[in-house]
A = this chain, B = another copy of it.
Amino acid sequence: MIKINSENILKKKIGFWNGICEKSLGKLCARRQHFVKEVFKNKNSYGYDFLNLPDDKKMLADIKKFATEQKKNNWENIVVLGIGGSALGLITIQDALLGPLHNVFNKPRLFVVDNVDPDYTDTLLSNIDLDKTLFIVISKSGTTTEPMLLYGVVKDRLAGKDHAKHFVFITDPKKGELLKIAKKEGIPVFPVPEKVGGRFSVLSCVGLLPAALAGVDINSLTKGALEMRGLINKTEAENNPALLLAILQYVMDRKKVRPMTVLMPYSNYLYRFSDWYRQLLAESIGKNKKTGPTPISALGTTDQHSQLQLYNEGPENKFIIFMRVIKHKADPINASKMPKDMAFLNSKKMGFVLDASYKGTAESLAHNKRPNITVEIPEINPKNLGALFMLFEFQMALLGLLYKVDAFNQPGVEYSKILTKQILSQTK
């Protein structure tokens, strides 16, 4: 079971000024317990509807049926054209469950193209066999600049081939430009959920359809999310992981004046999870010229040799969330006899060294009175990943209530879009 270890945030460990008293933490959680109920009560409202995604049996059945049919095409490449919430959840699934080396050694390869980089796009399209490639275009409105431009470029490259066979659209099932094109050209369409924003959509067709096509067990992903939802629903006060995470985040930012939150998994497979979380926190709570802790990505042990110096000896403005994986699938052992100075590595398993590094880092931060907590994950698998998605999405809904902001809009990106479209419309 996923657990939160908050020992290194308590006053008895890191002192009066930086820490929280255990009793107060319990009280703070108890006092905000009604927010958990409020989120569940709102579950059919816009935004909060992410809670219902894992109940959608028809969606799962439709996705699996399509994935099974597509097997006959033996796709070598699944290429997703989407950005932001239409990309980051899927990238997280890919890295966590297929692994960061998947595309180098396995097929079908899964490419998530979430930028309009000319060289990257050209390199990709020139090196893959287009006859053996399925393109999935994701845009709710069909008016997102990046995926629509990518769609245009890919369509040109597919000239002369059967478009309907090489494209799938994930879009608004009732209206919009992509829907019109799909109807005209006979391209299969899957729905973007109506009342769920992009950054909360990973457990809809947006994340699950491409994942299923790449061979991920989406049933277990969904099941893990459902179990976490049940746990959050029935657990009181500081034993409720979503409530505890939300309260700690809020207190660290608002009461302890630590405006930055570092998410630092000790696993290459969870590094991109922190990119997904970064969007979730930045877009949901960064509002009103005032609110919004800044999320920062880090990776253990890698960033012990990069960002840790600043975390340990820089200004006291950070709250650190570690992610620790208890059990690994493979775990190479070091049978070689090391030189004398390094003899402590003899006969050690790599997972053990990784975990010792995490412990040393967390303790060194606590020693310097730097607050940190740890999300403990028994192992990386579809069920636990689904649970993590639900946990942090629920945390965000709670943070919206704590910060008194709408966690489900993003008005601050509109003006940039208007200016960009103006520039593009004026010039040839």
Q: A42 at interface (Cβ–Cβ under 8 A)?
A: no
A260 CB-CB contact with B under 8 Å: yes
A413→B152 contact, CB < 8 A: no
Q: How far is the CA of A299 from the CA of B108 in the complex (A)?
A: 27
* A119 → B minimal CB distance (Å): 5
Provide the residues of chain B in CB contact with A310, threshold 8 Å.
282-283, 285-286, 292, 294, 412
| A330 lies within 8 A of B149 (CB) | no
Contacts A120-B101, A294-B296, A349-B118 given; indicate if A360 touches B416 (C-beta within 8 A). Answer: yes
Residues of B near A148 (CB, < 8 A) are 338, 342, 345
Q: Which B residues are in CB contact (< 8 Å) with A357?
A: 116, 145, 416, 420
- The 8 A CB mask of A338-356 against B (1 = contact, 0 = none) is 1111101101111111101
Question: With an 8 A cutoff between CB atoms, is A34 at the interface?
Answer: no
In the complex, the chain B residue whose C-beta lies closest to that of A331 is: B118
User: In the assembly, what is the distance between CA of A292 and CA of B314, in Å?
Assistant: 6
Q: How far is the CA of A193 from the CA of B329 in the complex (A)?
A: 39
Q: Which of A316-349 contact B (CB under 8 A)?
A: 316-318, 328-336, 338-342, 344-345, 347-349
4 closest Cβ pairs, A-B complex: A84-B305, A286-B310, A360-B420, A122-B330
Binding site for B on A (CB under 8 A): 83-85, 87-88, 99-101, 103-105, 109, 114-127, 142-143, 145-146, 148-149, 151-153, 155-156, 177, 180-181, 198, 259-260, 267-269, 275, 278-279, 282-283, 285-292, 294, 296-297, 299-302, 304-318, 328-336, 338-342, 344-345, 347-354, 356-357, 359-361, 363-365, 367-368, 380, 410-413, 415-425, 427-428
